[in-house]
Amino acid sequence: MEDSVNLSRISTRSAVLVGALALTLTACSSDSESPTSTTPGATGGGETQSQELSGNLAGAGASSQGKAMEGWIAGFNEMAPDVILSYDPAGSGSGREQFLAGAVQFAGSDAALKEEELTAAQERCYGGEAIEVPLYISPIAVIYNLPGVAAENLQMSAETLAKIFNGDITSWNDPAIAAENEGVELPDLTIIPVNRSDESGTTENFVEYLADAGNGAWPHEVSGDWPVSGGQSGKGTQGVVDTVSAAEGTIGYADASRAGDLGTVAIKVGEEYVPFSPEAAAKVVDASPRAEGATDKRLIVELDRTTTEAGAYPLVLMSYSLACSVYEDAADVANVKALFTYMASEDGQARAADPAVAGSAPISDALRTEVMAAIDSIAVAS
């Protein structure tokens, strides 16, 4: 995966996806197993059917998914060139609103639908319900700018992080940090915490992690807005990365794929310190229970931030893909099904996981089975 995605994708993927497509198209009436088997053997004679897909397919929503979505759009268009597929990374709130208003066929959202939105979703989905599947799981990296520090990753517990970001620990050579990083020479430098200035799922997940795992060191409520005022901040991931890069002694949090040359923190899980990695991020999703209100169509997860599972990285962002279980138009059903099937397929997940694309964590096979079942239930209004 690390080195060969770009090279190998042409040969295997198109065959795989066409196969998946063919299955979804024929699966409308059948109750067969969902096409989780994405081996090339399943291809059959689907090539002609993929050509039949056409029309407009518009999505909008979370900007966190934006880069992965670009990769998926490119991949999807290779197999279904007649579908005009677009995704507007306008933000989760805007995406949900547009989806519920019927302006787009699918949406991306960093948060699950809220109570009142569920009723609106029923109306929008012609009496059906909203399908929510987690197709984008991305580790959030805690990034810092300390060129003088030799260690590969500084090690910190959630409690230390909470204290740093709350302004209780103000110097890099604070005993609390030193205790967790034995043998690392820490500079006598003021810590400059950097947060996202706009409302975002990244902030919400990070704050939730600090609140859940921080042993009470994080006194603020959890929301997508940063609660501490008077600090450095940046608009969007790029703004945070720019700000952290611009001065020594800064520490911030951002989508892991954008960490670049900056240092990243290994966070304390159980008794060990885990640096971010896609695999570690995927692990925590599997170890987490379903959230309240989850159904077989709403695969919403309550992330377990305090997990002690070895090698799991609980600081992750999950972004859901939203669609309807019922569409009025048969073309919409075919298009949405094909797209979601592709995004959930091993190939689609691998493309998003490419560090050059989005560096996300591929979903596990177990989760994929459930996702495929949910996608399969999409049908035309009777």
Partner 1 sequence: MTTPTPLARAATSAPLEPEPQTPSPLAPRGGRLPRYVPYAVGAASLVFAYLLLLVVASPGIPSVVASAAALYAVAITIVSRVVEGHRWAVDRLATTLVTFAFAVALIPLVSLLWTVGSKGAALFSAEFLTTDMVGVFGDMTSGGVAHAIVGTLAVTATAALISVPIGLLTAIYLVEYGRGRVAKGITFLVDVMTGIPSIVAGLFAFALFTLIMGPAYRSGFMGAVALAVLMTPVVIRSVEEMLRLVPNELREAAYALGVPKWLTIVKVVLRTAVAGIVTGIMLAVARVIGETAPLLITVGILTRSSWNVLEGRMATLPVFAYNQYQQGGVGVDRAWAAALTLILIVMILNLAARMISRVFAPKGAAH
Partner 2 sequence: MAVSSPTTDLAPARSARHRGRLPDRVFHGLSAGAGWLILVVLAAVAIFLFLRAWPALSASAEDLNAISWMNGASIATYVGPLIFGTLLSALLALVIAVPLSLGIALFISHYAPRKLAQGLGYVIDLLAAIPSVVYGLWGALWLAPVLDPVFGWLSGTLGFIPLFEGYTAPARNVMAASVVLAVMILPIISAVAREVFLQTPRLHEEAALALGATRWEVVRMAVLPFGRSGLISASMLGLGRALGETMAVLMILSPGYAVSFFLLQPGQHQSIAANIAAKFPESSGLSVSVLIATGLALFVITLLVNLAARAIIARRAEFSGAN
Question: Where do contacts with partner 2 occur on this chain (CB under 8 A)?
Answer: 63, 90-94, 96-97, 190, 192, 197-200, 223-225, 229-235, 239, 242-243, 246-250
CB atoms within 10 A of CB 2: 7
Give me the least distance between CB of 373 and partner 2, in Å please: 30
Give me the least distance between CB of 99 and partner 1, in Å please: 9
Contact between 24 and partner 1 per CB under 8 A:
no
Query: Cβ contacts of residue 373 below 8 Å, gap of 6+?
Result: 34, 296
Contact between 295 and partner 1 per CB under 8 A:
no
What is the distance between the alpha carbons of residues 349 and 342, in angstroms, rounded to a whole number? 8
What is the distance between the alpha carbons of residues 340 and 20, in angstroms, rounded to a whole number? 10
Contact 248, 146 (CB under 8 A): yes
Nearest-10 crossing angle of helices 365-376, 278-287: 70
Give me the least distance between CB of 86 and partner 2, in Å please: 16
Contact between 376 and partner 1 per CB under 8 A:
no
Phi-psi region of 365 (alpha: psi -120 to 50; beta: other; left: phi over 0): alpha
Sign of the Cα torsion 306, 308, 314, 315 reads: positive
Contact between 241 and partner 1 per CB under 8 A:
yes
Binding to partner 1 in span 125-184, by CB under 8 A: none
Q: What does 102 interact with, of partner 2, partner 1, none (CB < 5 to 8 A by kind)?
A: partner 1
Contact 326, 126 (CB under 8 A): yes
> Within 13 Å, how many C-alpha atoms sit on residue 86's CB side?
9
Contact between 202 and partner 1 per CB under 8 A:
no
Q: What does 246 interact with, of partner 1, partner 2, none (CB < 5 to 8 A by kind)?
A: partner 2
What is the distance between the alpha carbons of residues 2 and 166, in angstroms, rounded to a whole number? 37
Contact between 25 and partner 1 per CB under 8 A:
no
Q: What does 73 interact with, of partner 2, partner 1, none (CB < 5 to 8 A by kind)?
A: partner 1
Contact mark string toward partner 1, 43..82, x via CB under 8 A: --------------------x--xx--xx-xx--xx----
Closer residue to partner 1 in complex, CB, 107/333: 107
As beta bridge partners, residue 144 has 251, 263
Contact between 10 and partner 1 per CB under 8 A:
no
What is the distance between the alpha carbons of residues 368 and 371, in angstroms, rounded to a whole number? 5
Q: What does 230 interact with, of partner 2, partner 1, none (CB < 5 to 8 A by kind)?
A: partner 2
Contact between 238 and partner 1 per CB under 8 A:
yes
What is the distance between the alpha carbons of residues 44 and 240, in angstroms, rounded to a whole number? 48
Q: What does 50 interact with, of partner 1, partner 2, none (CB < 5 to 8 A by kind)?
A: none
Residues that bind partner 1 (CB under 8 A): 63, 66-67, 70-71, 73-74, 77-78, 84, 86, 88-90, 97-98, 101-104, 236-238, 241, 258, 354, 356-358
